[in-house]
Amino acid sequence: MNTRFLKFLYILSALLIIQSCKKSGCTDPNALNYDIDAQKEDNGCLYEDYDKLSLLTNLADNYIIPSLDAYKSRIITLNIHVDSFIENPSISNLTLLRTNWEDALLNWQDIGFLDFGPSEYILLRSQTNTFPIDTTELNNSITLADWNLEYASSYDSKGLQALDYLLFKPGYTDSELITYFQNNTNAKNYLKAVAEDLNQNINYVTNQWVSYREDFINDFEVTQSNFSTNSQGSSISNIINALCLHYEFYIRRGKVGLPLGVFNGFSQLELPELVECYYSGKSTQNLVRSINSLRKYVTGSSYLNNDNGLGLDDYMDFVNAEQSTQQLSTVIDNQFLTILDEVNNINGPLSEEIINNKSQITQTYQELQQLVPYIKVDMTSALGVLITYQDNDGD
């Protein structure tokens, strides 16, 4: 055996001895049992689990339930004004009814993304605010005095957007609209049926939350290591999937992308008639409200007084979630603010601005799109949540 080979074996043995003498332990500074002297990771790091009970309790008691109750109160008031208008169709009562419809729709933006639990059971979003409305089906129902608003086939001819059409009927002056209702019992009955349907649905959801709340705040699976997971079906998974789906498909795509023509194939032809509130022209203010509401929800703000409680932003900070070396929670909140800045530059109804100020709407859409990967990819990855809905956009 030559001398050079013996020297190699000696060095190798020395390195193995040195390596075996390194102290094993937890080398992660973020762990509870971090050992500053440890030089070799022993895969035994222990971490503090996030207080999901407090997070879910704050969301339930300070945002979800109060927002549902506020919307319910608006719908009750809306029904009162529908009754007043049916009893006495007049310009003053029409004005009051329109104002209360507008308030109810703004309140709807606060709860549209709470599509889990009782809301999901009855497809509340589809029953409440499907757009564009099917005016042919709606008018046929009135003409034939034949409708059943409990059928799924009626979802696109009822709800808040049906009221948008009925109360701002195109081609009618206010006086002509009054005459239309005075002379059309079927139209009055349909108007009343739509309002009652809205009331029935939100009553169901708020009543169900009385018992569902306890399950909601305690619904996180604890593993054998005493750590909770955000597995499919857990409350954390449900709220994150619901808000991502609502934002991606019903705000970014539905409110802006589709009418802008982004999804209209190669032509990219604008389809302004697809906007929310096409007939009243109230689309922009509802877009603003929907963004503000989502931001409050993510930051754990109280619905009634804006007090800052535990939110998904705090959860992201707890797990040290980052995006390009910045706190992910900050990146997401800044993007919300950027979107709001862009939306505030829209000076009229989206249906008009898409045609007359397309560059601004395009810029707004691009900022809306920028938020999608932050919440759908970065946030879900950081919090261990699997997206369970289908993405058919190809983007």
Reported confidence tier of residue 38, pLDDT bands at 50, 70, 90: confident
Residue-level pLDDT at 224: 47
N residues, the chain: 395
Q: Is the pLDDT of residue 324 over 50?
A: yes
List the end-to-end C-alpha distance of the chain, in Å, as a whole number: 65
Domain endpoint, select from 218, 243, 268: 218
Convert the pLDDT of each residue in 139-148 to its tens digit: 999 999 999 9
Token digits of residue 260? 């802008």
Residues 353, 393, single domain; the answer is yes
Mean pLDDT of 160-186: 98
Residue 1 located in a structural domain: no
Reported confidence tier of residue 32, pLDDT bands at 50, 70, 90: low
Instruction: Pick 29 or 64 by higher pLDDT.
Output: 64
Reported confidence tier of residue 49, pLDDT bands at 50, 70, 90: confident
Residues 225, 365, single domain; the answer is yes
Residue-level pLDDT at 6: 62
Q: Is the pLDDT of residue 43 over 90?
A: no
Q: Is the pLDDT of residue 176 over 70?
A: yes
Alpha-carbon dihedral 196, 201, 205, 208, rounded to 10 degrees:
90
Residues 256, 186, single domain; the answer is no
Residues 239, 385, single domain; the answer is yes
Residue 207 located in a structural domain: yes
Reported confidence tier of residue 24, pLDDT bands at 50, 70, 90: confident
Residues 307, 240, single domain; the answer is yes
| Whole-number Å distance between alpha carbons of 96 and 117 | 34
| Whole-number Å distance between alpha carbons of 259 and 347 | 17
| Whole-number Å distance between alpha carbons of 115 and 147 | 26
Q: How many percent of the chain have pLDDT more than 70? A: 87
Reported confidence tier of residue 36, pLDDT bands at 50, 70, 90: confident
Reported confidence tier of residue 253, pLDDT bands at 50, 70, 90: very high
Mean pLDDT of 261-282: 95
Residues 64, 140, single domain; the answer is yes
Reported confidence tier of residue 114, pLDDT bands at 50, 70, 90: very high
Residue 35 located in a structural domain: no
Residue-level pLDDT at 112: 98
Residues 239, 149, single domain; the answer is no
Please give the mean pLDDT across all residues of the chain. 91
Residues 363, 250, single domain; the answer is yes
Residue-level pLDDT at 392: 59
Residues 158, 65, single domain; the answer is yes
Nearest to 120 by CA among 394, 389, 393: 389
Q: Which residue range forms the structural domain that includes residue 141?
A: 53-218
**Cβ proximity of 238 and 117 under 8 Å:** yes
Q: Is the pLDDT of residue 345 over 90?
A: yes
Q: Is the pLDDT of residue 59 over 60?
A: yes
Number of domains the chain contains: 2
| Whole-number Å distance between alpha carbons of 253 and 87 | 40
